[in-house]
């Protein structure tokens, strides 16, 4: 079995063929800015949630829910996923016009602004695609 020292092999090659320099740190950050399959499913489910799921139910709503058996609680147990759901619901309903405080809460939950850009971009493009298909 032969051994080839790749570091030495690229030394005599022209610049166009020689190994490229390592990518800048922003490329690594963009590659890490992804959502898991579970997080994408939360985003997809948030499309059907009304804005009222972001508020605490009133005492009357709780009483009526207990009376008629509707005790649906859309909040997620994981605080990070709940922050994602809340921002996804707002973005599904308002697009890019989301309050800064909502984005700050999203970032405080452990996400980055790049995550928000990815989330908002994918939701807005899905909204545009659905509107153009319905015409």
Asked if 80 contacts 38 with a C-beta cutoff of 8 angstroms, the reply is: no
CA angle 15, 21, 25 (to 5 degrees): 155
Burial of 84 (0-12, 13-18, 19+ CB in 10 A): buried
CA angle 19, 4, 24 (to 5 degrees): 25
Q: pLDDT value at position 2? A: 53
Closest CA to 46 of 135, 129, 134, 119: 119
More confident residue, 122 or 33: 122
Give tens-digit pLDDT for 14-72. 444 444 444 455 455 455 679 999 999 999 999 999 898 888 777 887 787 778 877 66
Domain ranges across the chain: 34-134
Give tens-digit pLDDT for 87-109. 999 999 999 999 999 999 999 99
Q: pLDDT value at position 64? A: 79
CB burial of 29-59 (b: ≥16 within 10 Å; e: otherwise) equals eeeeeebeeebeebbeebeebeeebbeeeee
Q: pLDDT value at position 71? A: 64
Q: pLDDT value at position 15? A: 44
Q: pLDDT value at position 96? A: 92
């Amino acid at each position: 079995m032969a051994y080839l020292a790749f570091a030495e092999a690229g030394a005599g090659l022209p610049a166009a063929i020689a190994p490229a320099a390592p990518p800048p740190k922003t490329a690594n950050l963009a590659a890490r800015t992804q959502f898991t399959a579970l997080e994408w499913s939360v985003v997809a489910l948030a499309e059907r949630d009304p804005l009222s799921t972001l508020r605490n139910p009133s005492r009357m709503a709780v009483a009526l829910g207990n009376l008629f058996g509707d005790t649906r609680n859309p909040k997620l147990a994981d605080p990070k996923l709940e922050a994602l759901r809340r921002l996804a619901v707002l973005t599904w309903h308002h697009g890019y016009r989301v309050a800064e405080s909502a984005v700050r809460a999203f970032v405080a939950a452990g996400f980055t602004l790049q995550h928000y850009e990815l989330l908002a971009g994918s939701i807005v493009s899905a909204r545009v695609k659905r509107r153009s298909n319905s015409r």
